[in-house]
Chain A
Amino acid sequence: MKCQKCDKTATFHITELAGGKPKELHLCEEHARDYLAENETTEEAAEPAETLGQQLAVGQTVEQLAKLDKQACPVCGITFFDFRSKGRLGCSHDYVCFEKELEPLLVNIHGETAHTGKRPKRSPTDTDRLTDLIRLRKDLKTAVQAEDYERASQVRDEIRRLEGDKK
């Protein structure tokens, strides 16, 4: 087979996948090199985690964003701003309390919003009730620090009850 650009033998067979339909190219070494150099882009594909914040900001006014940023998770206390700046969530309840806000982001990353794979055998449904334990352990710490032992003992009983449910 001859090169599509000169009379030399085509030694590079390139399949372009751009635009949905594969395009076949047959080129000699020299022309293949030129072709590949032309198509070379220097921009690095950014890691999703680092661009999370920017993706979220799209389509929102400054006021909307400012209001959204102040929203905090009642369990771990993380604000939406914390998440936007670090790209990491604070606890599993964030997926519940920021559900609407996270949705466009999930679509952007995964193209889907529903899990279709494996489910835990032990607790195949929502484990969100267990996030109460996160909040209670925090309450217990606060109560002990404030030397409110009555409150602390109530919270401890509540924790034990929930931990019992878990098993």
Chain B
Amino acid sequence: MAAVDLEELVRSTGEWLRGSGPESDVVMSSRIRLARNLADYPFISRASPADRTEIEKTLREGIRKLGEAFHVSYLDVSKLEGLDRQFLVERQLISREHADSEGARGVAIDDNEQVSLMINEEDHLRIQVLKSGFDLAAAWEKINAIDDQIESFATYAFHERLGYLTACPTNVGTGMRVSVMLHLPALVITRQIDKLFRSLQKISLAVRGLYGEGSQAMGDFYQISNQITLGRSEEELVKQVSEVVPSIIDYERKAREYLVRESKQNLHDRVSRAYGILRTAQTISSEETMHLLSSVRMGVNLGLIPELQIPTLNQLFIHTQPAHLQKLSGSELDTADRNIERARYLRAHLNTEDGAADKN
């Protein structure tokens, strides 16, 4: 199992921001994760440093032995610098909790960043599969196969009646979280978003921001996921989320059509101003960048900015995040310097698109 080349990873975009796949004008990515624990070790909160080391070793070695067919590389997260850990969080390859915790832990990542296996997170193992666009069926098929392969060397904690046992009772049973990341700018502008969330909560679906639990809905990105993990099969959970997403896509598209029909001038103005600021600003925060890129992304999807492509924009979303920006510029920067560097990066990348504006 090779080590991950972080420098190479920095320059790519990552699966979930590739901007392809079904319904990718609204759906950024589909994700499924499974929480698993080894039967013969305590959960993380009661694991001694020696236990943690053993758990890490058992899982790492086991994954390595699955062989080349598995195509994963391994990162020892406990040995990484804070900036590199933050970078992996921004990339959605590890969780914030995993980045910030202590002791033996690691992550195995596959070549195209679709698979991540976090060792010693809240549970001993968190398997995650990410797909661009709306493609939960493919994600389930893939993660189910990976789970079977892991099981060839690991004995999972399992209870006859309760299913897979997890550190938090909110995950017990299937241990599965099915989520879809949506870009919903028009529902935000038309103020229908809270309405939608309340309807989703009534059918036990959770809504979170871009980086999971407790995070702000930056850039109008929202994750919809199942709350219930016990008493329904994995297929039923996939189905529940799969069935609700098309109507949300439909709402968002209708809201976009409405904006085009009823206030095209306002919309075009909003999109153009956002584009203008991004192309000319001299210092800009991460939040403002996300907010403006969100408007521009919608504008591109509605054909208002013909010279820009969605993959370019998606790359800007990720490359202007604090850790990515610092990795790309090759130096650690404080907030003020990051804001200057971010503005410079945006100007350089948005002004080359049509070749018209100067590079300053």
> Is A bound to B?
yes
Q: Report the Cα distance A36→B192, complex, angstroms.
A: 7
CB distance from A96 to the nearest CB of B (A): 8
CB distance from B86 to the nearest CB of A (A): 22
Task: Identify which of A39, A48, A112, A126 contacts B170 (C-beta below 8 A).
Answer: A48
Would A36 and B169 count as touching, CB distance under 8 A?
no
Would A89 and B43 count as touching, CB distance under 8 A?
yes
Among B106-114, B125-133, B223-231, B303-311, which stretch is in contact with chain A?
A: B223-231
CB distance from B218 to the nearest CB of A (A): 17
Would B40 and A130 count as touching, CB distance under 8 A?
yes
User: Interface size bucket, A side?
Assistant: 35 or more
Would B228 and A111 count as touching, CB distance under 8 A?
yes
CB distance from B205 to the nearest CB of A (A): 11
Q: Report the Cα distance A48→B39, complex, angstroms.
A: 25
Q: Report the Cα distance A52→B172, complex, angstroms.
A: 14
Task: Confirm or deny: A68 has a beta carbon within 8 angstroms of a beta carbon on chain B.
Answer: no
Task: Confirm or deny: A120 has a beta carbon within 8 angstroms of a beta carbon on chain B.
Answer: yes
Nearest CB in chain B to that of A17: its residue: B199
**Residues of A contacting B203 in the complex (Cβ-Cβ under 8 angstroms):** 17
Interface residue total, chain B, C-beta cutoff 8 A:
64
Interface residues of B in 149-171 (CB under 8 A from A): 151-152, 155-165, 167-170
Would A110 and B158 count as touching, CB distance under 8 A?
no
Task: Confirm or deny: A102 has a beta carbon within 8 angstroms of a beta carbon on chain B.
Answer: yes
Would B161 and A88 count as touching, CB distance under 8 A?
no
Task: Confirm or deny: A100 has a beta carbon within 8 angstroms of a beta carbon on chain B.
Answer: no
Nearest CB in chain A to that of B51: its residue: A137
**Residues of A contacting B243 in the complex (Cβ-Cβ under 8 angstroms):** none
Would A128 and B159 count as touching, CB distance under 8 A?
yes
Q: Report the Cα distance A6→B76, complex, angstroms.
A: 63
Q: Would you mind naming 25 contact pairs between A and B with Cβ atoms under 8 Å apart?
A: A29-B262, A32-B191, A45-B201, A48-B227, A52-B170, A86-B45, A92-B159, A95-B159, A109-B169, A109-B227, A110-B229, A113-B230, A115-B163, A115-B164, A115-B172, A115-B231, A117-B163, A117-B236, A122-B155, A123-B155, A126-B160, A127-B39, A127-B156, A127-B158, A134-B42
